[in-house]
Amino acid sequence: MALQEPQTRFVIDASVVIPWYLEQNLTPISMLFLQRLEHCQAPGVISAHVSQVLWSYCQEDLLSGTVGAAALRHFRRAMKHKITPTEELADRALEISMDLRLAPPLCLYFALAERQEADLVTAFQPFHEAVRGTPYAQMVTDLRTFL
């Protein structure tokens, strides 16, 4: 009997991941997703988004470069088998970007959530604003609702 992959229930973005490494008001709830990574996935672009946020914290001297680099390494190890290559999602992400008027790299999260029939969990306000009043609204869950 073959082992089944755990079902993806959540697609997470950088706004869920960053509180794993930086103390924020959303850190306690964000940690629940780290503890339940078997039910999470993300598109490959998340690595760039996490790197960008860590870099900006280092530039503002809110985080040392050493700690930022360690956080990025931990993130890559934790998410190693939870990342879907961007190429698999790019065509659908472009279509969604036309509907939502968001940049295609951001719409990779929506494309993955749609494909996996999963909730896109985010605290990223532009996602919430973009889906308001659209059919995509039902796939987006605010991280704060888990509090």
Predicted confidence (pLDDT) per residue in 76-132, tens digit: 999 999 999 999 999 999 999 999 999 999 999 999 999 999 999 999 999 999 999
In a domain, 99, yes or no: yes
With respect to residue 58, please indicate whether it lies within any of the assigned structural domains.
no
Examine residue 61 and state whether it is found in any structural domain, yes or no: no
**Residue 26 is assigned to a structural domain of this protein:** yes
Q: In what side-by-side order are the strands of the sheet with 40-43?
A: 83-84, 40-43, 10-12, 119-122, 140-142
Structural domain includes residue 139: yes
Let me know: does 114 contact 88? Beta carbons within 8 Å.
no
- Confidence (pLDDT) at 3: 52
| CATH number of 25's domain | 3.40.50.1010
Tally the domains of the chain: 1
Adjacent-strand bridge partners of 120: 11, 140
Domain that holds residue 100: 10-45+81-146
On whether residue 137 sits in a domain, the answer given is yes
Per the domain annotation, does 109 fall within a domain? yes
Q: Does a structural domain hold residue 70?
A: no
Give, for 43, the enclosing helix (H) or strand (E): strand 40-43
pTM, whole model, 2 decimals?
Answer: 0.91
Give how far the C-alpha of residue 9 lies from the chain's centroid of Cα atoms, to the nearest Å.
13
